[in-house]
Amino acid sequence: MRIQVRNFNLRYTLECGQFFRYTPHGDGYIVQVRDSVLWLAQHKDALTVKGSSRAYVRRLLRLDDDIHAIEQALSGDMTIIRLMRQYPGLRLMRQDPWECLVSYVCSAAANIPKIRGNIQALAQAFGKPIKYNGETHYTFPPPGSLSCAETIRACKTGYRTPYVCRINEMVNDAALRRIGKLPYEQAVERLMQLPGVGRKIADCVLLFSLDHDEAFPIDTRIRGIMRKLYFRNKTVSDSRIRQFAEQRFGAYAGYAQQYLYVYAGQR
């Protein structure tokens, strides 16, 4: 199945650090989300999809986002505009909220290869096997199923293990959807009530799975590049950075953040 796309780049979108369950395969990628396994490849403005529907992929990759409106909204900042031209087609994704939450709780004080290992191991230990193209993949376990602490710990989640365990009994898909519908600050507050979820992880979940494009996750990489670009390398608190981002980038601060993140990453 094919989808015509515009202003979209699959590689930038999958590899920019927001999403963990993809593997290069052939001239495309195998992508896993909750219970789905699909294969995606891009040639020019044609996206080829196997194993999923057009509607599902449009939703996952936010193909209906109005890039021009986003560019317009961020046009007050030449750095961001330049980065949007440098990485054309880099989109935020709309991940599964539960899988995104668990992934980012595991991400605390970790790095991308380690997080990928955690998620893969959790899926293998708790998920259901599914065949795709003769290969066995594993679904991501639903809320309520991550209850055995020892098994979770064996997935090398370390001190995050009790967080995963408790979150597993504190939320479900419907609760996350409801949180996502709250105004941004209230949603942050609610997510931060979960153990192991601080401001950064709350912002990641809101941005990458719950359509809160105003969220601006601040990790060390973003902190560093923000200081360098906007604070003359001076030490500034996260709340100052957040305040600056809010007034400079506004409703699409999260998009700005993702461009800054890749930019800061490759040097």
Partner DNA sequence: ATCCAGGGGGATT
Partner DNA sequence: AATCCCCATGGA
Instruction: Enumerate binding residues for DNA (CB under 7 A).
Output: 107-111, 113-114, 117, 153, 156-159, 192, 194-202, 219-221, 237
Choose between 42 and 118: whose C-beta lies nearer to DNA.
118
Choose between 117 and 180: whose C-beta lies nearer to DNA.
117
Nearest distance from residue 247's CB to DNA, in Å?
21
Nearest distance from residue 234's CB to DNA, in Å?
15
Nearest distance from residue 114's CB to DNA, in Å?
4
Choose between 62 and 114: whose C-beta lies nearer to DNA.
114
Choose between 49 and 101: whose C-beta lies nearer to DNA.
101
Nearest distance from residue 58's CB to DNA, in Å?
30
**CA-CA distance, 169 to 221, in Å (whole number)?**
32
